[in-house]
Amino acid sequence: MARATTSAESLEQYFTNRFETKLLSHMPPEDAELTAATRLLEKRRELAQADAEQSVHREQHEQHLDKLQQEKLALKQEEAKLMKSLEDYDTYLKENDIRRRRALKKLREETSACDEKNHEIQVLQERIAELQDHQEQQEQLLAEQEIFEKYLQSVIKETHDFNEIDELIDRHATLKVTNEELLAQEARNKDRMRELQAEGARDRENHKVVMLRLNNTLTNLEAKRDTVSTERLHWENQATLAEGSACKRTLLIGRIKMATANLYALVRARNRRGASQDRIVNPELQLDKIKIYLQDLTDICRMFDEEQQRESVE
């Protein structure tokens, strides 16, 4: 708006200067003879004409300015449209680039997937070829084993226990498993029998050793008993003959009782049933118990040897 006002003032100054110069240059020579009033009227008429022309030119200039303003607005609108078009085109280019990248990525993925599928197809074709070879081998094997199927069918016809070949095969598998279990059990029984035989042999050896030790002990005890009996008779005779030797005899009897008591304690400790009975104090009864224990032990060893002999004969 300020620019339009400045342009109008410059245009008015231009026309004013121009008409003043024109009027001064075209003044007729007879104006000098006219009266002052006539000249004034003439000047006013020229000024009015100049004002009218200036008004016309001003209106034309304002119309031109309005047209220029409208053209400027139109240019700004066109410029805005062009900028919008440029932005849309740039957006289109960006979106097109994104779509192109996506298309390229999808193309690469599809190419890779196609390669993978081709590889899988090749692998599957090889697998199919292998399966076909395996099928041919199985068919050949079935053809070779067809004679066994005919044999099994003939067996089913001869027997009434089975109706199908599968039943016969299942029965054979069951019997095979049972046979293997029985063989394993037999092997375990043989191992256990060998262990028991070895344990019996060790027990026999131990019993023999115990028997020898007990026989030696019994012999020693019998010898000691004979000695004690002899000494007792001797000391009894000596007691009747010499009452003065009572202290020595009493001491000897004490030793004999002590030895008998020790032997009885040993026998009683080895005899479990005797451990629960009352302790015997009489030396003679103690010797009788020792004798009974040795006889029982001898009988047990003899019975064990006879049983082992019977088992060996069986």
Start-to-end CA distance of the chain, whole Å, equals 145
Which pLDDT tens digit goes with each residue over 180-227?
999 998 899 989 888 888 888 888 888 888 888 888 888 888 888 888
How large is the angle between the packed helices 146-158 and 165-241, nearest 10 degrees? 70
Angle at 163 between CA 158 and CA 165, to 5 degrees: 90
pLDDT tier, 243 (very low <50, low <70, confident <90, very high otherwise): low
Q: Please enumerate in sequence order all residues whose Cβ is within 8 A of that of 87, keeping only pairs 6 or more positions apart, or say none.
A: none
- CB count within 10 Å of CB 217 equals 16
Q: Which of 165-174, 176-185, 294-303 has the highest mean pLDDT?
A: 176-185
Residue tagged 């046979």 (tokens): 179
Residue 278 DSSP label: P
- Give per-residue pLDDT as tens, 251-282: 777 887 787 788 788 877 776 555 556 677 77
The pLDDT tens digits of the residues spanning 30-63 come to: 444 447 778 777 777 888 887 788 888 888 888 8
Q: What is the mean pLDDT of residues 222-250?
A: 74
pLDDT band of residue 147 (cuts 50, 70, 90) is confident
Q: What is the pLDDT of residue 4?
A: 44
Most confident of 142-151, 170-179, 238-247: 170-179
Q: Is 280 helix (H, G, I), strand (E, B) or coil?
A: coil
Residue whose C-alpha is closest to residue 54's, from 22, 31, 25: 22
The DSSP letter of residue 145 is: T
Q: What is the mean pLDDT of the chain?
A: 78
Structural contact between residues 289 and 264, judged by C-beta atoms closer than 8 angstroms = yes
Closest by Cα among 51, 33, 31 to 42 = 31
| pLDDT tops 60 at residue 25 | no
